[in-house]
Amino acid sequence: MSSDWIQPLRSLVTIKGGKRLPAGKSLQQEPNSHPYIRIRDVGQRELPRSGLEFVPNELFPPISRYIVEPNDVVLSIVGTIGALSIVDNKYNLASLTENCVKLHGLDYEDALYLYYYLLSSTGQQEIHRGTVGAVQPKLPIYNIEKISVYWPERTIRQEVALTLGTLDDRIALLRETNSTLEAIAQALFKSWFVDFEPVRAKQQGREPEGMDANTAALFPDSFEESELGSVPKGWRVGKVEHLLELAYGKALKASDRVAGPIPVYGSGGVTGCHNEALVDEPSIVIGRKGTVGSLYWEDRPFFPIDTVFYVKTKVPLTYCFYQLQRLGLDGMNTDGAVPGLNRNNVYRLPIVLPPHEVLAGFDGIVSALRHKIFGNSEQIRTLTTLRDTLLPRLISGQLRLPNAEAVT
Q: Does pLDDT of 349 surpass 80?
A: yes
Is residue 147 located within the same domain as residue 257? no
Amino acid at 16: K
Say how far apart CA 227 and CA 351 lie, in whole Å.
10
Is residue 337 located within the same domain as residue 257? yes
In a 3-state reduction of DSSP, which class is residue 124?
helix
Q: Given this model, what pLDDT does residue 135 score?
A: 81
Say how far apart CA 186 and CA 33 lie, in whole Å.
32
Q: Given this model, what pLDDT does residue 134 score?
A: 75
> Is 376 inside a domain boundary?
no
Q: Within a 10 A sphere around the Cβ of 39, how many other Cβ atoms?
A: 20
Backbone angles phi, psi at 116, to 5 degrees: -70, -35
> Considering only CA atoms, which of 42, 29, 27, 97 is closest in space to residue 73?
42
pLDDT tens digits along 34-55:
999 999 999 999 999 889 999 9
**Which range has the top average pLDDT, 99-108, 135-144, 328-337?**
99-108
Name the least confident of 103-107, 156-160, 273-277, 370-374: 156-160
**CA 175 to chain centroid:** 9
Residues 6+ apart with CB under 8 A from 54: 27, 28, 29, 30, 31, 32, 34, 35, 36
What one-character-per-residue DSSP string does 339-376 give?
A: -BB-HHHHHT-EEEE--HHHHHHHHHHHHHHHHHHHHH
Q: Does pLDDT of 353 surpass 60?
A: yes
Please count the structural domains in the chain: 2
CB 82 within 8 A of CB 128: yes
Question: Across all residues in the chain, what is the average pLDDT?
Answer: 93
Q: Given this model, what pLDDT does residue 405 score?
A: 52
- What's the DSSP call for residue 398? S
Q: Given this model, what pLDDT does residue 2 score?
A: 59
> Considering only CA atoms, which of 237, 239, 205 is closest in space to residue 222?
205
Q: Does pLDDT of 206 surpass 70?
A: yes
Domain that holds residue 280: 179-369
Give the C-alpha distances (Å, rounded to integers) separating 223 from 228, 239, 261, 350, 359.
12, 20, 49, 18, 18
Say how far apart CA 279 and CA 28 lie, in whole Å.
45
Q: Does pLDDT of 407 surpass 80?
A: no
Q: Which residue has the higher pLDDT, 22 or 37?
A: 37
Is residue 188 located within the same domain as residue 94? no
Is residue 269 located within the same domain as residue 199? yes
Q: Does pLDDT of 214 surpass 70?
A: yes
Residues 6+ apart with CB under 8 A from 120: 391, 392, 395, 396
**CA 294 to chain centroid:** 13
> Is 87 inside a domain boundary?
yes
Confidence of residue 230 (pLDDT cuts 50, 70, 90): very high
Q: Given this model, what pLDDT does residue 176 score?
A: 96
> Is 53 inside a domain boundary?
yes
**For the chain, what percent of residues have pLDDT higher than 90?**
87
CB 235 within 8 A of CB 355: yes
Q: Given this model, what pLDDT does residue 399 score?
A: 75
Is residue 82 located within the same domain as residue 191? no
Q: Does pLDDT of 397 surpass 90?
A: no
Is residue 206 located within the same domain as residue 127? no
Which helix (H) or strand (E) covers residue 248, if one does? Answer: strand 244-248
> Is 89 inside a domain boundary?
yes
**For the chain, what percent of residues have pLDDT higher than 70?**
96
CB 304 within 8 A of CB 287: no
Name the least confident of 82-86, 216-220, 309-313, 399-403: 399-403
Q: Given this model, what pLDDT does residue 335 score?
A: 61
Say how far apart CA 240 and CA 366 lie, in whole Å.
20
Q: Given this model, what pLDDT does residue 351 score?
A: 96
In a 3-state reduction of DSSP, which class is residue 63?
helix
- CATH number of the domain to which 17 belongs: 3.90.220.20
Is residue 199 located within the same domain as residue 125? no
- What's the DSSP call for residue 48? P
> Is 108 inside a domain boundary?
yes
Which helix (H) or strand (E) covers residue 238, if one does? Answer: strand 236-239
Q: Which residues pair with 96 in a beta bridge?
A: 37
- Establish whether the linkage from the previous residue to 263 is cis, with ω within 30° of 0: no
Say how far apart CA 408 and CA 399 lie, in whole Å.
13
Is residue 140 located within the same domain as residue 243? no
> Is 168 inside a domain boundary?
no
Confidence of residue 178 (pLDDT cuts 50, 70, 90): very high
Q: What number of helices (H) and strands (E) belong to the chain? A: 10, 20
> Is 10 inside a domain boundary?
yes
Is residue 18 located within the same domain as residue 136? yes
3-state helix, strand, coil in the chain (%, to 5): 40, 20, 40
Is residue 108 located within the same domain as residue 56? yes
> Is 402 inside a domain boundary?
no
Is residue 209 located within the same domain as residue 272? yes
Is residue 205 located within the same domain as residue 329? yes
